[in-house]
Structure formats: C-alpha cells, structure tokens
Amino acid sequence: MLESFLTFINQQKLDISEKSTLLTVSGGADSIVLAHLFYRAGFSASIAHCNFGLRDQESDEDELFVKKLAEQYAFPFFRTRFETKKFAAEQRISTQMAARELRYEWFEELRKSQNINFIATAHHANDAFETVLLNLTRGTGLAGLHGISVLNQQVIRPLLFASKENILRYIIDNHLTYREDSSNLSDNYKRNMIRHEVIPVLKKMNPSLEKTFGVTSQRLRSADILLNHFLKDWRNSVTENAGEGLVISIKELLNSPEPTYRLWFILQDFDFSYTQVQEIFSAAEGISGKVFYSLSHQVLKDRYSFVVSKRENSVDEHELIIDHPKGIFKTGGLILEIRKILKTEELNIDKKTRSVFFDASKIIFPITIRNWVKGDTFCPFGMKGKRKKVSDLLIDLKININQKQKVKILSNGNGDIMWVIGLRTDEKYKVTDMSQEIIEIDMKE
C-alpha cells in the first residue's frame, strides 16, 4: 500500500515530500493508516487531534491514544477540546455540523500559526462514494457527482485511492491498533445509514463498486472541466459588463440548448441557487419589471435582457432582510424568532398558536419583511391555487385603516408572499407529509 500511496501522490501532483503537513488524526483506522504511511514515507508531518467531548471517557481515551502515537513517530502533537453540544445549541445546527465547523476552523488556525503547508484528512474511496450518494439524495449538480476532491486549497486527501477494505487489510498486515468510534456503528446519521444499509445492497450488484466509482468520478470530473471551459467562452458572447453587474441577452439565451443550465452557470457567481434560476428563467418571456434577489445581488427582468446588479446594503426603514433560518429579528413592533426543524415530529402547533410553519425546501433566502403595497397578491392557506389581493383580505377581516398601515408581509427570495404576518400564510408553502425540513417562525408583538 505504501507504493500505491506514493504513486497516487505523484499522479495527483501533491507536493508534500518537501513540504510540511498537518495530519488530522482521530484515532480511527483511517487516520491511523494515514499517519503510518507518512511516517514510513519519511514526510514532514505534525498530528492534530480534536476532543469533542461527545463520548465522555471514550473521547479522553482517544486523545491519550493519539498523543502516544505522535510520540512514537516523533511527530509534533497538537490537541484541543470543544464544547460541541453547547456550540451546536447556540448556532442551532446539528452536532455533526458543529463538530465540522469547529475542527476545520481550528485546523486552519493551527496551520497558519505553525507555518504548515497542508492539512491532510483521511478520507478514502468509500467516503467519496458515500458523499456522492448523499448529494444525490439532497439534490446536486455535476460537481456533486465528483465525490471528494483530492486537493481543496490547503486541504489534501492522500488516501482517496484506497478502499476501506484496503485500509483494514493494511492495519492487519502492519499490526496497527486503532480506536473504534462507537457512533460509527449507529444508523442515526444519514451517512451511516448509507454505509450500513444502502452500499451493501449495491455491492451485491457490483463487488468492485469503489473501483468502478473511482473511474466514473474521474470521467465526470473531466466532463465538468470541459463543460465549464465551453460555457466560459459562451458566457462572454451573451453578456455585457455593467459596472459590478452584468447584462444577459434573453434572445441569445432562448436560442441556446439547455438555457436554464446556461443561465445558472452565469448567475451562480452572484449567489443564486439553481432553484432560483429556474424561477428567473420562467420570467424570460414575461412582462418586464420583476426582480429576483440573492444574498448579494438582484436580477431585473428587462424587455430584452436580465440585468444583474449588486444589492444595495442600505435597506428601507420599513424593510428587513433575513439571510438565514435562525435567530431573533425585530421590525415595526414585531419580534420574530426563526428556526429550522429537522423532524416533523417536533411540531406542536396546539401549544404555539402564534407560530407558523413552512416547508423549508421551498424557501429561498434571503427572505424579506416589508410593508404590504397595493397590488400584492398571494394564495391564502386552504384556497388551493386561488389568488387573492392582500387589500381584499384586509377588507374581509375588517382591519381598520390604522391597523392596515401596520400590516407587514413576509416575502420569499423569489418575490412570492409567504405570509401576511399575523393573518394568513400562503398555501404553496404549507407543510405536507413530504416535508423533510420545516421553518418555524414564532411571532411576538
């Protein structure tokens, strides 16, 4: 395996033989093999270990195990401890996401402070394949089918050539010991479900699954590079610079094969998602004046073109832009607390009568709270497609003139009205049995 390791490094042009590398070692089989290969190859390396405090005594034993390993190889050793669950609660993210953010931030700080060239992780071929399957379940573009990149800025993955089977065989052949993370045996996490339930079924169909995927991944990566090269030339022929923005010819766009994908290729640089681009393209032959927003830019549908411009930082005093699905936001006498719910079982509508719930997959951030204006329309919850003017809703509910002036609406990133705040939500954004993630908004006055 050492020979394959060195061959892979040469093929991928990873310049680590003359430079220093920070090895991220958890104590598991993969990272133990990574450290052993660097030791045998005589590469300059240090070891970094994170104690996330998630498994009590097990976590402390892992830390001690890795420390002794570093001493055995005479590698400098760095360690840190995180209050992972506290950080996850504060940020309202999953424990796994919190651990990822914490460790990569620390690795980069350590790399800079110690003048280290690279950060090496122990991702292998199975990890790359699992990532592709995860991306497919979430929805992905061509880049999401590559798997994991060998090199991403200063982060390298020198074990991507090896399968999990190769790694375990190397462990046995070299009489190495490692620590088993008990959470890896659980199917509570999506990746573990794919690892323990989905992949074994696929391997019955193709025992050489990892090898086959490796070849396919290389082909997809090459195809993506060629496609991007072609589209860059095409983009220059259908766009004109306009200050910090861009003007895109709708005529040229409509005359091109796969126009939605082409439009996304242009607009992805301005923070627009593919879902947003589908909405934008649907307006190509519509009336002028419709505006679509991303976090940093806006797209105006003009007569013959889409005009991309930078979004102004200054916001009207009657408008509040919300960039992310968590936190407490105040405007116009309202206090809204927003959070994302991962499981529908957490819903408790009866106890939270001032809360509203939306299907998270249909929401495009940033969302906006603003005053309602004449001409605003939406589809009130329960009306199943029949649109209604906000002004008519206020009349039906006998809202007086003074109250009308205080009514605000919550609009989606595509401009749709999601909620006439405190009065009615839109049917399109309701929670259904198919909803996987939910946005909950608690309202206080």
- Nearby residues of 250 by Cβ (< 8 Å), 6 or more positions away: 284, 285, 304, 305, 306
Tokens 């290389």 belong to: 218
Element (H, E) at 109: helix 95-113
Per-residue pLDDT of the chain (445 residues; tens, 9 = 90+): 999 999 999 988 888 988 999 999 999 999 999 999 999 999 999 999 999 888 778 888 999 999 999 999 999 999 999 888 888 777 767 777 788 888 999 999 999 999 999 999 999 998 888 888 888 887 777 878 877 888 888 999 999 999 899 999 999 999 999 988 655 544 446 778 888 889 899 989 998 888 888 888 888 888 988 999 999 999 999 999 877 789 999 999 999 999 999 999 999 888 888 888 998 999 898 888 888 887 678 898 888 899 998 876 434 446 788 888 888 888 767 888 888 886 555 555 544 457 899 999 999 988 999 888 878 899 998 887 788 999 889 888 888 765 777 789 999 988 899 999 989 999 999 888 888 889 989 887 6
- Tokens found for residue 181: 């993370």
Return the number of other C-beta atoms located less than 10 Å from residue 231's C-beta.
Answer: 14
Per-residue model confidence (pLDDT) at position 346: 54
To the question of pTM greater than 0.85 for the whole model, the response is no
Per-residue model confidence (pLDDT) at position 140: 78
The CA distance from 181 to 198, in Å, is: 21
Are 60 and 29 within 8 A, CB to CB? no
- Nearby residues of 104 by Cβ (< 8 Å), 6 or more positions away: none
Per-residue model confidence (pLDDT) at position 218: 83
**CA-CA distances (angstroms) from residue 316 to 250, 308, 331, 368, 440?**
30, 20, 11, 11, 25
Helix (H/G/I), strand (E/B), else coil: 318? coil
DSSP 255-315: TSSSHHHHHHHHHGGGT--HHHHHHHHHTTTS-TT-EEE-SSEEEEE-SSEEEEEEPPS--
Beta strands at 367-371 and 408-411: parallel, antiparallel or unpaired: antiparallel
Per-residue model confidence (pLDDT) at position 173: 95
- Nearby residues of 120 by Cβ (< 8 Å), 6 or more positions away: 16, 21, 22, 23, 24, 34, 38, 45, 155, 156, 157, 158
Per-residue model confidence (pLDDT) at position 253: 93
What is the arrangement of strands in the sheet containing 245-249, beginning at the earlier edge strand?
239-242, 245-249, 305-310, 297-301, 291-293
Phi, psi (rounded to 5 degrees) for 44: -75, 120
DSSP state of 372: -
Radius of gyration of the chain (CA): 26
Per-residue model confidence (pLDDT) at position 354: 75
Beta strands at 118-120 and 155-156: parallel, antiparallel or unpaired: parallel
DSSP 25-86: --SSHHHHHHHHHHHHHT--EEEEEEE--SSTHHHHHHHHHHHHHHHHHT--EEEEE--HHH
Tokens 């909803």 belong to: 435
List domains and CATH numbers for the chain: 2-217 (3.40.50.620), 243-310 (3.30.465), 320-444 (3.50.40.10)
Q: Is the peptide bond before 257 cis (omega within 30 degrees of 0)?
A: no
